[in-house]
Amino acid sequence: MPISESMVQDIVQEVMAKMQIADAPAGKHGIFTDMNEAIEAAKASQKIVRKMSLDQREKIITCIRRKTKENAEILARMGVDETGMGNVGDKILKHHLVADKTPGTEDLSTTAWSGDRGLTLIEMGPFGVIGAITPCTNPSETILCNTMGMLAGGNTVVFNPHPAAIKTSIYAINLLNEASLEAGGPDNIAVTVEKPTLETSNIMMKHKDIPLIAATGGPGVVTAVLSSGKRGIGAGAGNPPAVVDETADVRKAAQDIVNGCTFDNNLPCIAEKEIVAVASITDELMHYLVSENDCYLASKEEQDKLTAVVLAGGKLNRKCVGRDARTLLSMIGVNAPANIRCIVFEGPKEHPLIATELMMPILGVVRAKDFDDAVEQAVWLEHGNRHSAHIHSKNIDNITKYAKAIDTAILVKNAPSYAALGFGGEGYCTFTIASRTGEGLTSASTFTKRRRCVMADSLCIR
């Protein structure tokens, strides 16, 4: 058989990828000093992945699941130590959730039309090398989950992680490549640079070999990605309100909301950030929050002190993000009892601790005169992010009205917010919820291109 130029190129790429396996220092698979080199390596690796069977990709994913579980505690501790945010127990759970419930290749479904004129299929194929920007709030969770989905779709990935979580991110990226090598795959299925900056991010976003960028983070990064001229998946900020109406099981609502709000110290973007309660049950709800759910009721003076610390100079104080309630209270001189999990108070929707996405266990409660007023205030508080919202109600008409009005990617009914991630709820897990661009909860199929595959006049055997 004659050897074509493209075959020679493929062989060279394969040899280059294998050389990188040999050269990579232990514990540093996929880690480069230069962004362009990182992209080249991911490109070489993608050429190999592209030729792998679905079964081979699935073997790597199975190995990633196992290693994620084995390393869940290390990654959880590393994340908390490095960023100062969240808590180890919940972060362990989050890694188990990623390992167990992130979809693999089974997510790639085929659509078919068969008839007199033949057979047409829609197949889901890879983009190639995907650029991904990840947050410091769920650093390794996002990297592991993104890579599993992207690899299932036949892609490799270049990360520009949050600099404040680079150690944890590097550990996760190394783990992904070790899993691939162990399962007979190539090195560099996921890569990054040792020192990610806005400059390395720009190199990645502008690179000719990156056709798709997935951004998980606040409004700044999503806007940057959507202005890049490339296709972008924008998983942006939220400020999820939890509405409680007069038909709710108020006692259970209080428990569910506090459980969701305090999970990993309120870091998940989907977590309850404030409550809007109809007036007829607000006092009852406050009673259950404080008497049965370890909430600290902050006085007006304490709210003012908290505002001064948490939103110092009108800007979110990073030193408060992802801290537990007792630490936050200690910052304003309050020595709270050991059981305290959450800080609550009643206030208007415009209260800065209510209107701002804080990512810490502070729950302002807004009183609404009736259900319509509750919906109006909740929609205002969500700020048009269309990200996540929650409701506690037994009235289907109320739930439907709220769902239509708030129009979010996630709406959890009568459960803690984390049910949306498949934790205590049905469905798969992701840590990239594409609220801005509408893909919703991302999975392998989100990271693929739809290709129409047509066979005219044949293969219909009906």
Its sign, for the CA torsion 228, 231, 237, 239, is positive
Closer residue to ligand NAD in complex, CB, 159/402: 159
The reply on whether position 169 binds ligand NAD by CB under 6 A is no
The reply on whether position 161 binds ligand NAD by CB under 6 A is yes
Tell me the residue number closest to ligand NAD, measured at CB: 217
Among 259, 274, 266, residue whose Cα is nearest residue 423: 259
Among the listed residues 172, 173, 213, 224, the single contact to ligand NAD using CB under 6 A: 224
Piece of the chain touching ligand NAD by CB under 6 A; list 183-191, 212-220, 258-266, 286-294: 212-220
Among 39, 426, 457, residue whose Cα is nearest residue 210: 39
The reply on whether position 7 binds ligand NAD by CB under 6 A is no
Q: First-to-last CA distance in the chain? A: 39
Its sign, for the CA torsion 208, 210, 211, 216, is negative
The reply on whether position 133 binds ligand NAD by CB under 6 A is yes
Token reading at 56: 């081979």
The reply on whether position 162 binds ligand NAD by CB under 6 A is yes
What residues from 338 to 357 belong to the interface with ligand NAD (CB under 6 A)? 357
Among the listed residues 168, 216, 262, 266, the single contact to ligand NAD using CB under 6 A: 216
The reply on whether position 293 binds ligand NAD by CB under 6 A is no
Closer residue to ligand NAD in complex, CB, 46/192: 192
E-assigned strands of 287-401?
295-297, 342-346, 362-368, 388-392
Q: CB of residue 220 vs ligand NAD: minimum separation in angstroms?
A: 4
Piece of the chain touching ligand NAD by CB under 6 A; list 9-17, 103-111, 233-241, 291-299: 233-241
Piece of the chain touching ligand NAD by CB under 6 A; list 19-27, 57-65, 122-130, 220-228: 220-228
Token reading at 347: 């206030």
Piece of the chain touching ligand NAD by CB under 6 A; list 248-256, 300-308, 390-398, 425-433: 425-433
Among the listed residues 118, 125, 211, 218, the single contact to ligand NAD using CB under 6 A: 218
Among 439, 414, 436, residue whose Cα is nearest residue 424: 414
C-alpha distances out from residue 266 to 39, 390, 423, 447, 449, Å: 34, 15, 15, 28, 34
Instruction: Give 235's DSSP letter.
Output: E
The reply on whether position 433 binds ligand NAD by CB under 6 A is yes
| Residues binding ligand NAD (CB under 6 A) | 133-138, 161-162, 198, 201, 216-218, 220-221, 224, 235-238, 269, 357, 431-433, 435
